[in-house]
Amino acid sequence: MTDYWSLTSAALHGQPWRLWTGHIVHYGPSHFFPDGIAFVPPMLLLDPKQRWRTIVWGLVIAPLVSIAILAFAPGIEYRGSSALAITLWILAPLLYLNEEKVPAAQQRYTDRRVPRAPAIILLTFCLVKLVLETTTSFRLGFTDIPSLPLAHWLGAIAGAMTFVFLRGKIIHTALREFGESRHALSARG
C-alpha cells in the first residue's frame, strides 16, 4: 500500500520530496504517537534556544538517512520518524556530555539544569534497544516492519556522524576565538 509520500525508490527517480516526507507519514496513529513521543526525552536535554537548531539539523539529516535506507534496501517502503528519533537519542546526549569539555564561552548546545545521568541513560537505552532489535525479535513499536533495525541503525550512525561534525565545528570555533582574543591582548600590550 504505497502512497505518494512514503519513502520508496521513487525518491531517486523524480520524486525527491519523499526523502523528507517518508519521515512524516506513518502506518497509523498507533505508529505516529510513539514516534512523536520519542522525540521528547532527547530534546529535554538541549537548551531551549538550541532545540530549533536541532530541528533544522533534523531537516538536513532526514534526506541523508533516507538515501542510506534506500542504498541498503532499495525495494523498501519506509514510513516513520523512528530513524530520526534514534538520531536525536544519540546526538543530543553526546552534545550534552561533550559540553563539559568545551570552554564556557562555547557552551551553547545544552542547558546545565539537568545532570549527566539522563544523558547517559538515554544513550544506554538507545544502544541496548539497537542491539536487542538486531540480535533478537525484540521490537519497541511496530513489529511487522522488517526495515526497522536497519532504519534505527542508520539513524544512530547519522546521530554519531552529526555529533562528530558539530564537535569539530565547536572546537574549531573555540580555537579561533581563543586565537583572536590572544592576538587582541598581545596587540594591547
pLDDT digits over 40-78, tens only? 999 888 887 778 888 888 889 999 999 999 999 888 888
Considering the domain boundaries, does residue 63 fall inside one?
yes
pLDDT, the chain, mean: 80
As a whole number of angstroms, the distance between CA 43 and CA 85 comes to: 10
Q: What is the number of alpha carbons within 13 Å of residue 80 lying toward its C-beta?
A: 30
Query: What is the SS3 assignment for 110?
Result: strand
pLDDT reported for residue 182: 66
pLDDT reported for residue 100: 54
Q: Which residue is it, cell 526497522?
A: 148
What does DSSP assign to residue 153?
H
Considering the domain boundaries, does residue 3 fall inside one?
no
Mean pLDDT value across residues 5-14: 90
pLDDT reported for residue 1: 52
Which residue, among 132, 129, 159, 142, has the nearest Cα to 45 in the 3D structure?
159
Residue 21 cell numbers, joined = 516526507
Helix locations, 22-147, DSSP H:
29-38, 40-45, 48-72, 82-98, 116-135
Mean pLDDT value across residues 179-185: 68
Considering the domain boundaries, does residue 1 fall inside one?
no
Considering the domain boundaries, does residue 4 fall inside one?
no
Answer yes or no: is pLDDT of 29 > 70. Answer: yes
- Number of domains forming the structure of the chain: 1
As a whole number of angstroms, the distance between CA 38 and CA 35 comes to: 5
As a whole number of angstroms, the distance between CA 142 and CA 180 comes to: 52
pLDDT digits over 80-132, tens only? 888 999 999 999 998 888 765 545 555 555 445 557 888 999 999 999 999 98
| pTM for this entry | 0.76
What residue numbers bound the domain in which 146 lies? 9-188
Considering the domain boundaries, does residue 176 fall inside one?
yes
